[in-house]
Amino acid sequence: MTEQAPVAESGTTDIPGKPTSASRTTLSHIMTHHDTNLLGTVHGGVIMKLVDDAAGAVAGRHSGGPAVTASMDEMAFLEPVRVGDLVHVKAQVNWTGRTSMEVGVKVLAERWNESAPPTHVGSAYLVFAAVDADGKPRPVLPVLPETEQDKRRYQEAQIRRTHRLARRRAIMELRERRAAEGFED
Ligand SMILES: CC(C)(COP(=O)(O)OP(=O)(O)OC[C@H]1O[C@@H](n2cnc3c(N)ncnc32)[C@H](O)[C@@H]1OP(=O)(O)O)[C@@H](O)C(=O)NCCC(=O)NCCS
């Protein structure tokens, strides 16, 4: 069972927070020949850099200061991006913890030679930690999801958070068990 998202309407909660729309960002970029791989399509790493940039801008805006990438979940590439495409990287805070934020990113490509709606070419989820001047985690305001889509994303982010923590814990336990059994790898 996931927790309910904080409620945005004034008067229904005492938790101060920031609505999702306050930090939502779109970064747009035209792809050039400098961005291609040997096959002539855009290198996945170029898209990942844009994803990290857009997510970082959102995390910085939401937390009102510096924020660093703590992790990036699997990035799905659904369609190739080509030279000349206008790529839109849309990012928003899906969920907030005490000092961390999950940012969801959706990548769309407008084909320069087609008059079709933008193609969904990729998606990713990143966790950012807000940090102070010493690089230590600092608290963030809760995100206040506004639309039904924001609320669904909040609940899905909680599921991913639970899985990330469980995976980390299971790996730590395995390492401790192996160390106790005398393995030194
Ligand atoms: C991310 C970082 C600040 C975490 O610091 P820490 O001392 O481990 O602090 P904590 O364990 O309290 O983690 C802080 C928050 O980040 C979350 N977090 C830390 N590592 C995480 C990971 N691998 N995946 C998801 N969340 C993570 C924690 O759950 C916690 O969230 P919460 O406060 O909302 O519960 C630290 O590891 C760091 O500075 N990493 C390098 C970041 C960086 O340089 N990124 C750019 C890549 S070059």
State the distance from the centre of ligand 1 to the C-alpha of 102, rounded, in angstroms: 12
Give me the pLDDT at residue 86, please: 97
In this structure, is residue 137 part of a structural domain? yes
Domain that holds residue 151: 18-180
* pLDDT band at residue 56 under the 50/70/90 scheme: very high
The CATH number that applies at residue 92 is 3.10.129.10
State the distance from the centre of ligand 1 to the C-alpha of 11, rounded, in angstroms: 33
State the distance from the centre of ligand 1 to the C-alpha of 129, rounded, in angstroms: 5
* pLDDT band at residue 9 under the 50/70/90 scheme: very low
Question: Kind of pairing, strands 143-144 and 67-72?
Answer: unpaired
Nearest-atom number in ligand 1 for the CA of 131 is: 3
Q: What is the mean pLDDT of residues 76-101?
A: 97
User: What percentage of the chain has pLDDT greater than the value 70?
Assistant: 92
State the distance from the centre of ligand 1 to the C-alpha of 156, rounded, in angstroms: 20
* pLDDT band at residue 3 under the 50/70/90 scheme: low
In this structure, is residue 27 part of a structural domain? yes
In this structure, is residue 2 part of a structural domain? no
In this structure, is residue 185 part of a structural domain? no
Strand partners, 93: 103
Residues in the chain: 185
Nearest CA to ligand 1 atom 31: 100
In this structure, is residue 23 part of a structural domain? yes
* pLDDT band at residue 6 under the 50/70/90 scheme: low
In this structure, is residue 10 part of a structural domain? no
| Pocket residues: Cβ below 6 A from ligand 1 | 68-71, 97-100, 127, 129, 131, 135, 137, 164
Give me the pLDDT at residue 135, please: 97
Give me the pLDDT at residue 1, please: 45
Amino acid at 103: V
With 80 as the cut, is the pLDDT of residue 150 above it? yes
In this structure, is residue 47 part of a structural domain? yes
Give me the pLDDT at residue 87, please: 98
Give me the pLDDT at residue 185, please: 82
pTM for the predicted model, two decimal places: 0.91
Nearest CA to ligand 1 atom 44: 68
State the distance from the centre of ligand 1 to the C-alpha of 136, rounded, in angstroms: 9
HEC string for 50-63: HHHHHHHHHHHHHH
With 90 as the cut, is the pLDDT of residue 50 above it? yes
Q: How far apart are CA 66 and CA 24, in angstroms?
A: 16
Across the chain, which distance is largest between two alpha carbons, in Å? 63
What is the total count of domains within the chain? 1
HEC string for the chain: CCCCCCCCCCCCCCCCCEEHHHCCEEEEEECCHHHECCCCEECHHHHHHHHHHHHHHHHHHHHCCCEEEEEECCCEECCCCECCCEEEEEEEEEEECCCEEEEEEEEEEECCCCCCCCEEEEEEEEEEEEECCCCCECCCCCEECCCHHHHHHHHHHHHHHHHHHHHHHHHHHHHHHHHHCCCCC
